[in-house]
A and B are shown apart, each in its own frame.
Chain A
Amino acid sequence: MSKRRPYVRSMDGWWKKNPFYVEYMIHESTALFVAAYAFTLLVGLVRLGQGEAAWNGWLEAMKSPLSLIFHVVFLLAIMYHTYTWFKIMPITLPPIIVGGKKVSPGAITGSGLLAAVVASVFMLGLVWRIAQ
Protein backbone atom coordinates (compact mmCIF):
# COMPACT_ATOMS: atom_id res chain seq x y z
CA MET A 1 0.00 0.00 0.00
CA SER A 2 1.31 3.38 -0.93
CA LYS A 3 1.48 5.99 1.81
CA ARG A 4 0.70 8.73 -0.70
CA ARG A 5 -2.69 10.27 -0.32
CA PRO A 6 -3.18 12.08 -3.60
CA TYR A 7 -5.68 14.91 -3.69
CA VAL A 8 -9.02 13.72 -5.00
CA ARG A 9 -11.42 16.46 -5.86
CA SER A 10 -14.69 16.11 -3.99
CA MET A 11 -17.69 15.40 -6.19
CA ASP A 12 -20.21 16.46 -3.55
CA GLY A 13 -23.03 18.47 -5.06
CA TRP A 14 -21.44 18.42 -8.54
CA TRP A 15 -24.84 18.75 -10.16
CA LYS A 16 -25.68 21.99 -8.37
CA LYS A 17 -23.22 23.94 -10.49
CA ASN A 18 -25.05 23.61 -13.77
CA PRO A 19 -28.80 24.19 -14.35
CA PHE A 20 -28.85 21.32 -16.87
CA TYR A 21 -27.71 18.86 -14.19
CA VAL A 22 -30.06 20.36 -11.59
CA GLU A 23 -32.96 19.64 -13.94
CA TYR A 24 -31.55 16.16 -14.58
CA MET A 25 -31.44 15.40 -10.84
CA ILE A 26 -34.99 16.70 -10.38
CA HIS A 27 -36.42 14.62 -13.21
CA GLU A 28 -34.51 11.50 -12.09
CA SER A 29 -35.82 11.97 -8.53
CA THR A 30 -39.44 11.85 -9.73
CA ALA A 31 -38.91 8.05 -9.65
CA LEU A 32 -39.02 8.26 -5.83
CA PHE A 33 -42.55 9.63 -6.02
CA VAL A 34 -43.64 7.03 -8.59
CA ALA A 35 -42.32 4.35 -6.19
CA ALA A 36 -44.05 5.92 -3.18
CA TYR A 37 -47.35 6.01 -5.05
CA ALA A 38 -46.97 2.40 -6.21
CA PHE A 39 -46.29 1.30 -2.62
CA THR A 40 -49.42 3.19 -1.49
CA LEU A 41 -51.42 1.21 -4.05
CA LEU A 42 -49.71 -2.02 -3.00
CA VAL A 43 -50.84 -1.43 0.60
CA GLY A 44 -54.35 -0.78 -0.75
CA LEU A 45 -54.31 -4.05 -2.69
CA VAL A 46 -53.14 -6.01 0.36
CA ARG A 47 -55.89 -4.37 2.45
CA LEU A 48 -58.45 -5.24 -0.25
CA GLY A 49 -57.32 -8.86 0.03
CA GLN A 50 -57.93 -8.74 3.81
CA GLY A 51 -61.61 -7.91 3.46
CA GLU A 52 -64.10 -5.08 3.64
CA ALA A 53 -63.12 -3.60 7.02
CA ALA A 54 -59.44 -3.45 6.04
CA TRP A 55 -60.27 -1.88 2.68
CA ASN A 56 -62.51 0.76 4.29
CA GLY A 57 -59.67 1.54 6.68
CA TRP A 58 -57.37 2.18 3.72
CA LEU A 59 -60.00 4.39 2.05
CA GLU A 60 -60.34 6.32 5.32
CA ALA A 61 -56.55 6.74 5.56
CA MET A 62 -56.53 8.14 2.01
CA LYS A 63 -58.83 10.92 3.28
CA SER A 64 -56.39 12.14 5.92
CA PRO A 65 -54.92 15.62 5.31
CA LEU A 66 -51.41 14.16 5.29
CA SER A 67 -52.36 11.67 2.58
CA LEU A 68 -54.01 14.40 0.52
CA ILE A 69 -50.91 16.59 0.76
CA PHE A 70 -48.73 13.63 -0.25
CA HIS A 71 -50.94 12.91 -3.24
CA VAL A 72 -50.82 16.52 -4.42
CA VAL A 73 -47.01 16.22 -4.27
CA PHE A 74 -47.14 12.85 -6.09
CA LEU A 75 -49.40 14.42 -8.72
CA LEU A 76 -47.02 17.32 -9.38
CA ALA A 77 -43.93 15.08 -9.39
CA ILE A 78 -45.46 12.47 -11.69
CA MET A 79 -46.81 15.16 -14.04
CA TYR A 80 -43.24 16.43 -14.23
CA HIS A 81 -42.11 12.87 -14.96
CA THR A 82 -44.65 12.75 -17.81
CA TYR A 83 -43.35 16.03 -19.21
CA THR A 84 -39.68 15.06 -19.02
CA TRP A 85 -40.31 11.50 -20.25
CA PHE A 86 -41.69 12.82 -23.51
CA LYS A 87 -39.22 15.72 -23.64
CA ILE A 88 -36.32 13.24 -23.62
CA MET A 89 -38.05 10.80 -25.98
CA PRO A 90 -36.62 12.31 -29.19
CA ILE A 91 -33.18 11.32 -27.82
CA THR A 92 -34.12 7.91 -26.42
CA LEU A 93 -36.03 6.76 -29.50
CA PRO A 94 -34.26 5.59 -32.65
CA PRO A 95 -34.76 8.10 -35.48
CA ILE A 96 -38.24 7.80 -36.96
CA ILE A 97 -38.50 8.42 -40.69
CA VAL A 98 -41.88 9.39 -42.11
CA GLY A 99 -42.15 10.14 -45.81
CA GLY A 100 -38.37 10.25 -46.18
CA LYS A 101 -38.02 12.89 -43.48
CA LYS A 102 -36.91 12.54 -39.89
CA VAL A 103 -39.73 13.33 -37.46
CA SER A 104 -38.80 16.48 -35.54
CA PRO A 105 -38.11 16.35 -31.78
CA GLY A 106 -41.00 18.76 -31.21
CA ALA A 107 -43.44 16.46 -33.01
CA ILE A 108 -42.34 13.46 -30.92
CA THR A 109 -42.63 15.34 -27.62
CA GLY A 110 -45.91 16.91 -28.71
CA SER A 111 -47.51 13.60 -29.69
CA GLY A 112 -46.33 12.02 -26.44
CA LEU A 113 -47.87 14.77 -24.34
CA LEU A 114 -51.04 14.63 -26.40
CA ALA A 115 -51.19 10.87 -25.83
CA ALA A 116 -50.87 11.46 -22.08
CA VAL A 117 -53.76 13.95 -22.13
CA VAL A 118 -55.93 11.57 -24.19
CA ALA A 119 -55.02 8.65 -21.86
CA SER A 120 -55.96 10.73 -18.79
CA VAL A 121 -59.33 11.81 -20.19
CA PHE A 122 -60.00 8.25 -21.37
CA MET A 123 -59.16 6.85 -17.93
CA LEU A 124 -61.37 9.36 -16.12
CA GLY A 125 -64.24 8.59 -18.50
CA LEU A 126 -63.76 4.84 -18.13
CA VAL A 127 -63.71 5.01 -14.32
CA TRP A 128 -66.81 7.21 -14.45
CA ARG A 129 -68.58 4.62 -16.66
CA ILE A 130 -67.60 1.65 -14.52
CA ALA A 131 -68.56 3.45 -11.29
CA GLN A 132 -72.04 4.44 -12.50
Chain B
Amino acid sequence: MKSGLKRSNAPIFWSLFGAGGMFSALFGPVLVFITGIAVPLSLMLPSGTMSYPKMLAFAQNFIGKGFILAVISLFLWFAAHRIFHSLHEIGIHAGLGAKLICYGSAFVATVVSAVVLLRLGF
Protein backbone atom coordinates (compact mmCIF):
# COMPACT_ATOMS: atom_id res chain seq x y z
CA MET B 1 0.00 0.00 0.00
CA LYS B 2 1.26 3.39 -0.93
CA SER B 3 0.77 6.05 1.67
CA GLY B 4 0.56 9.69 0.73
CA LEU B 5 2.42 10.59 3.88
CA LYS B 6 6.19 10.57 3.78
CA ARG B 7 7.70 9.01 6.84
CA SER B 8 9.72 11.62 8.71
CA ASN B 9 13.41 10.96 9.28
CA ALA B 10 13.40 13.29 12.29
CA PRO B 11 13.20 10.53 14.95
CA ILE B 12 16.48 9.02 13.71
CA PHE B 13 18.38 12.28 14.03
CA TRP B 14 16.66 13.13 17.27
CA SER B 15 17.60 9.73 18.74
CA LEU B 16 21.23 10.20 17.75
CA PHE B 17 21.08 13.68 19.27
CA GLY B 18 19.57 12.36 22.50
CA ALA B 19 22.01 9.47 22.77
CA GLY B 20 24.99 11.70 22.03
CA GLY B 21 23.80 14.41 24.39
CA MET B 22 23.37 11.91 27.20
CA PHE B 23 26.65 10.12 26.49
CA SER B 24 28.62 13.39 26.34
CA ALA B 25 26.89 14.67 29.49
CA LEU B 26 27.87 11.54 31.40
CA PHE B 27 31.36 10.88 30.02
CA GLY B 28 32.43 14.05 28.16
CA PRO B 29 34.09 15.90 31.07
CA VAL B 30 36.01 12.89 32.41
CA LEU B 31 37.21 11.93 28.92
CA VAL B 32 38.47 15.46 28.24
CA PHE B 33 40.22 15.37 31.59
CA ILE B 34 41.86 12.00 30.89
CA THR B 35 42.95 12.46 27.27
CA GLY B 36 43.56 16.21 27.23
CA ILE B 37 44.84 17.06 30.72
CA ALA B 38 45.75 14.10 32.97
CA VAL B 39 47.67 12.03 30.40
CA PRO B 40 49.58 14.94 28.77
CA LEU B 41 50.58 16.31 32.19
CA SER B 42 51.16 12.83 33.73
CA LEU B 43 48.68 13.54 36.50
CA MET B 44 46.96 10.88 38.60
CA LEU B 45 46.99 8.04 36.05
CA PRO B 46 49.85 5.51 35.68
CA SER B 47 52.58 6.54 33.24
CA GLY B 48 52.03 5.17 29.75
CA THR B 49 48.24 5.06 30.20
CA MET B 50 47.82 6.00 26.54
CA SER B 51 51.03 4.41 25.22
CA TYR B 52 50.91 2.90 21.72
CA PRO B 53 50.72 -0.77 22.82
CA LYS B 54 47.93 0.00 25.31
CA MET B 55 45.86 2.11 22.93
CA LEU B 56 46.37 -0.41 20.12
CA ALA B 57 45.18 -3.22 22.38
CA PHE B 58 42.20 -1.10 23.42
CA ALA B 59 41.30 -0.31 19.81
CA GLN B 60 41.63 -4.00 18.87
CA ASN B 61 39.35 -5.09 21.68
CA PHE B 62 35.71 -5.50 20.71
CA ILE B 63 34.42 -3.39 23.61
CA GLY B 64 37.17 -0.82 23.10
CA LYS B 65 36.25 -0.47 19.42
CA GLY B 66 32.62 0.05 20.30
CA PHE B 67 33.47 2.64 22.92
CA ILE B 68 35.75 4.64 20.62
CA LEU B 69 33.18 4.58 17.82
CA ALA B 70 30.38 5.57 20.20
CA VAL B 71 32.33 8.50 21.62
CA ILE B 72 33.43 9.98 18.29
CA SER B 73 30.25 9.39 16.33
CA LEU B 74 27.61 10.08 18.98
CA PHE B 75 29.37 13.24 20.17
CA LEU B 76 29.38 14.47 16.56
CA TRP B 77 25.77 13.48 15.76
CA PHE B 78 24.70 15.32 18.89
CA ALA B 79 26.73 18.42 18.02
CA ALA B 80 25.64 18.36 14.37
CA HIS B 81 21.96 18.32 15.31
CA ARG B 82 22.29 21.05 17.91
CA ILE B 83 24.43 23.32 15.71
CA PHE B 84 22.11 22.79 12.73
CA HIS B 85 19.06 23.80 14.73
CA SER B 86 20.84 26.79 16.27
CA LEU B 87 21.75 28.32 12.91
CA HIS B 88 18.28 29.86 12.68
CA GLU B 89 18.92 31.60 16.00
CA ILE B 90 21.85 33.53 14.58
CA GLY B 91 19.99 34.52 11.43
CA ILE B 92 21.17 31.78 9.09
CA HIS B 93 18.17 30.22 7.39
CA ALA B 94 19.54 26.74 7.19
CA GLY B 95 18.90 24.85 3.98
CA LEU B 96 20.21 21.75 2.35
CA GLY B 97 23.80 23.04 2.33
CA ALA B 98 23.89 23.58 6.10
CA LYS B 99 22.25 20.19 6.60
CA LEU B 100 24.89 18.50 4.46
CA ILE B 101 27.74 20.24 6.30
CA CYS B 102 26.40 19.47 9.81
CA TYR B 103 25.10 15.93 9.42
CA GLY B 104 27.51 15.15 6.59
CA SER B 105 30.58 15.79 8.77
CA ALA B 106 29.14 13.57 11.51
CA PHE B 107 28.48 10.89 8.89
CA VAL B 108 31.96 11.12 7.37
CA ALA B 109 33.57 11.03 10.84
CA THR B 110 31.54 7.92 11.70
CA VAL B 111 32.60 6.16 8.50
CA VAL B 112 36.27 7.16 8.92
CA SER B 113 36.29 5.93 12.55
CA ALA B 114 34.64 2.64 11.61
CA VAL B 115 37.10 2.05 8.76
CA VAL B 116 40.15 2.82 10.93
CA LEU B 117 38.84 0.59 13.72
CA LEU B 118 38.15 -2.28 11.32
CA ARG B 119 41.57 -1.96 9.71
CA LEU B 120 43.26 -2.13 13.13
CA GLY B 121 41.97 -5.69 13.34
CA PHE B 122 40.72 -7.73 16.26
List B contacts of A56 (CB < 8 A).
52
Interface of A is mostly: helix
For A48, A52, A68, A115, the residue with the greatest tally of chain B CB atoms inside 10 Å of its CB is A48
Could you tell me if B34 and A124 are in contact, using CB atoms closer than 8 angstroms? yes
Which residue from chain A places its CB closest to the CB of B118 in the assembled complex?
Answer: A49
Chain B, interface size: which category? 35 or more
List B contacts of A71 (CB < 8 A).
32, 35-37, 40
User: How many angstroms between the C-alpha atoms of A34 and B22 in the bound complex?
Assistant: 12
User: How many angstroms between the C-alpha atoms of A41 and B71 in the bound complex?
Assistant: 9
Chain A, interface size: which category? 35 or more
List A contacts of B45 (CB < 8 A).
124, 127-128, 131
Q: B29-49 vs A: 1/0 string, CB under 8 Å? A: 111111111011100111011
Residues of A at the B interface (CB closer than 8 Å) are 11-12, 15, 25, 28-29, 31-32, 34-35, 37-42, 44-46, 48-49, 52, 55-56, 59, 62-63, 67-68, 70-72, 74-75, 78-79, 81-82, 85-86, 112, 115-116, 119-120, 123-124, 127-128, 130-132
Residues of B at the A interface (CB closer than 8 Å) are 20-22, 24-37, 39-41, 44-46, 48-50, 52, 54-56, 58-59, 68, 71-72, 75-76, 78-80, 82-83, 86, 89, 91, 109, 112-113, 116-117, 119-120
